[in-house]
Amino acid sequence: MVTYRPASTIEDWIAALRLVYHTYVRAGLIAPNKYMLRVTPYHLLPTTDLFIACEGPRVILTMSLVRDGILGIPAEAVYPEAIGAHRKERRVFGEVTCLAGEEIGNTGLSHFIELVRLLAQYARFTEHLDEVFIAVHPRHALFYEKFLGFEQVGDVREYPSVQNRPAVLLCLDATTLQQRHPRAYQILFGSPLSKEQLWPARLPVEHRRLLEPFVDKRFVPAPLAAHAEWQTNAIPLAQTSQ
């Protein structure tokens, strides 16, 4: 039986980030490291959550949700204009990143959809996000657009954090999805998850600090200066978090 939930313990996080590492190394997206973990600077921040699909004790699928914060979101290093425009419109957003999974045959797509559904409802109803960005290889963009209701908001660019592979920036606007793409809305939001399933599962700060030695030093977030306006005009966290 496969279960889907936010990652809540350091053991969950290590298993998920190790799965990302092995998946990305096999795909040639990152260079090997001695720790066998894919940890980015965003994973140290309280604005990042991990989601996992587990078969028994084994993590078979994972993805991270990075909410806009002190480092912005990962794709902003490549698409500063597009994401900056959404911030100026006072949109509340995040990014799905670090997607990885085991080879699990014909059931893989259904597990992926279930985990995306959990993440989407968590983003919308727990974190009150208007939008979720994702940067994907151009050959995958059509699936996200036609099946999940994402829209392309950025052109094809090289993505440094995955060995300069090409990517396009997509955005899921949850505030208009039901009108724009009823089928995608039904897939992601048609069956509401319980409050218990969407309850925040924050990894304690002291446990996040354990990951600091493993951060990929070659991963460069968007410059902090790019967020000067966001820092000045930001709504206090106490007004936006649970």
Q: pLDDT tens for residues 72-121?
A: 999 999 999 999 999 999 999 999 999 999 875 556 899 999 999 999 99
Q: Which CATH architecture has domain 2-235?
A: 3-Layer(aba) Sandwich (3.40)
Cα–Cα distance between 66 and 99 in angstroms, integer? 12
Q: What b/e sequence results for 157-189 when a residue is b if at least 16 CB atoms lie within 10 Å of its CB, and e otherwise? A: eebebbeeeebbbbbbbbeebeeebeebbebbb
Count of C-beta atoms within a 10 Å radius of residue 227: 21
Q: Where are the alpha helices (DSSP H) in the chain?
A: 10-26, 80-88, 108-121, 141-148, 177-180, 182-189, 205-209, 228-233, 237-240
58: three-class secondary structure by DSSP: strand
Q: Give the up-direction half-sphere exposure of residue 210: CA atoms within 13 A in the CB hemisphere.
A: 10
Candidates 36, 73, 176, 62; CA nearest to 119 is: 62
Q: 25 near 158, Cβ under 8 Å? A: no
pLDDT in tens, 164-220: 999 999 999 999 999 999 999 999 999 999 999 999 988 999 999 999 999 998 887
Whether the per-residue pLDDT at 226 is higher than 80: the answer is no
Side chain identity at residue 61, one-letter code: L
R_g of the chain, CA atoms, integer Å:
17
